[in-house]
Structure 1
Amino acid sequence: MIDKNQQKNIIVISGPSGVGKDTLMEIIEKRNPEKIHIAITATTRKPRSNERNGINHFFVNKDKFNQMINNDELIEWAKVYENLYGVPKSEITNNLEKNNKVLIRVDVQGAKRLKEILNQSVFIFISPESKKDLKNRLTLRHENSENDIEYRLMQSEKEITEADWFDFIVVNYPNQAEKAVLELSNIIGLN
């Protein structure tokens, strides 16, 4: 188990699909490669056109994912949009041993589970400025059908109502990623 002092170096980041979580986390990691590690999650979903196995996610089939569950290799896992996602324990423990801060990207249900396990960690919700902004982001990704976008927008409304229990809420305004990066960096303790 991860002790309470180590938990303070775990930052759990959540928010609606398309809000820019990955982009913000990648900017922070690039600027602080010796201090930050983004936990690579395992998933059964297909990679997007710009994603690579072992960099963005560990892309695995359902049998391998179930094997990871059975072997107790995941600190948390959930079904999200018909796919399985999980956080390998090794992604956290190996990097905490190197004195890195570990960023974990999960959906709201995953964040709730992690709050039970890692209650001394920092929980940050990334929010869009508006539903219109989020729809624009999802549309510009060119990865989702119109029906999928509408479903994700409905889910985002539910997720946004959960934001109050997070330790911090950071709004990712359109074309102002730098502002959100600065705010996140301050929260994480990088500035």
Structure 2
Amino acid sequence: MTAGLPFRLARTSAFAAVCLGLGVAAHAFGGGTVRAPAMGIALGLSFAAAFPLSGRERTMGAILPLLGGLQVVMHLLFSLAHAASPIAATGHAHSGLVPGLGMLVAHGWAIGLTALWLARGEALLWGLLRRLAIRLLVVLLPVIRAPFPAPCTAEPPVFRSAVLRHVVSGRGPPMVVETS
């Protein structure tokens, strides 16, 4: 089942927003600052990377590497933007582009949990769409298969009297039942 363009754009936008939110929150939690141009570039990269995969249901196997790769790219982008800012890397959890072990573990947990959350959301969304499609078919199929009414005839139908074959006649005196 493939999706139309508006649906693909909506799903891609949601994925890009979640990916950007995760990257910005993790970078800010690590003590870094994120500049607006870097966020715009990261959002565009996330959108461009997710759009080709938005036509069909994405599984955990597709979401996890995509999210992990985008987080690495965002980390590098935010670190470069942070290092280029007039405020030096004071207070940031690492110096330069190589993260420390704590940041790698934090990124790994965040990527894994977010990928799991997105995969469950995908499964829920596509399951709901399948149920709605089935429900729509069940409702519309009888309407589509309904026979066309018979064309009108010029003469009215002839009514005939029906003979009642199964009528029990109760004529005569009642039967006497003898008890002994």
Sort the TM-score into its range (normalised by shorter chain). Answer: under 0.3
Larger Rg: 2
Point out the structure with the larger strand share. 1
Higher normalized helix content (fraction of residues): 2
Higher relative contact order (CA 8 A, sep 6+): 1
TM-score, normalised to structure 1, is 0.22
